[in-house]
Amino acid sequence: MDPILLAFILATIAGLMIVSSLAVGGINNPLLNAMIVSLILGDPVVGLTVGATCALMALGFHTFGGATIPDWNVGAMFATAIAITAGGGAANIEMGIVIGSIVALLMTWFDILGRATTTVFQHGGDRALAANDSNAFQRWHLMGTIPWFLSRFIPVFIGAMLIENVWVIENFVNEYAWFRQGMQVIGRSLPAVGFALLLSFMDIKRFWPFLILGYALFAYMGVPTLGLAILGIAAGALFTQYGKMRKGA
């Protein structure tokens, strides 16, 4: 695919996704972004692998109170594009995730810039409300999404144009082993932190048998994550039905 066209498509997707996430029920998440990129580039397996890893890294990160967090959605897009462009394989996927993690952190700068520029439109909306001009207020409100869109579109477009020169970043990562090893440690620890945060919201004291069963199936029987998810759904359904039968009795 033409690099300019690819960069435009990826940048547009990133912009639309962040605007979607501002609405209730937004669909912006690392797995979806990675899958879209992988389908465009023709390797959905890489998209599933990278997207699932980045989704685990993103667990527990939320913008409560307007806090700025790493943008794992954009990071997943770059990680997928870099891994596929480099030829796929475990080594290239790992390299893509490392670089994607760096991109996710760098995107915090653009997130802050996007948030700051929206104040212009907020003040415009305030003036429209003071003048009882509802139509103007609606226009100011809708225009307020422009900075958010551009905060992803511009950096993703520029970065996507440079994907073919990813060897420069790869050489840097390979040359400075301490940097590579440090990012690998971070990349491998973040999913564990995400799982820990997820488990902290669960009633482990009550449902500990399910936790032990899931661990045994994964660690000793080699059941993949998708298989565990399917078994979890079945176990949850049976547990719910059993609870209803006991109440009925």
Cα of 195 vs its chain's centroid, Å: 15
Q: Integer distance in angstroms from the first to the last C-alpha of the chain?
A: 63
Is residue 4 within 8 Å of 158, Cβ to Cβ? Answer: no
Instruction: Identify which of 27-31, 86-90, 131-135, 184-188 has the greatest average pLDDT.
Output: 131-135
Encode pLDDT of 119-149 as tens digits. 888 888 888 888 888 888 888 888 888 888 8
The pLDDT assigned to 188 comes to 58
Instruction: Identify which of 88-92, 176-180, 217-221 has the greatest average pLDDT.
Output: 217-221
Is the pLDDT at 65 greater than 80? The verdict is: no
Task: State the burial class of residue 85 (Cβ atoms within 10 Å of its Cβ: 0-12, 13-18, 19+).
Answer: middle
User: Residue 89 corresponds to which amino acid?
Assistant: G
Encode pLDDT of 4-34 as tens digits. 888 898 889 888 888 887 765 556 788 888 8
**Where are the chain's structural domains?**
3-201, 203-249
Cα of 136 vs its chain's centroid, Å: 34
Is the pLDDT at 236 greater than 80? The verdict is: yes
Q: How far apart are CA 145 and CA 189, in angstroms?
A: 34
Classify the phi-psi angles of 234: left when phi > 0, otherwise alpha if psi is within -120 to 50, otherwise beta: alpha
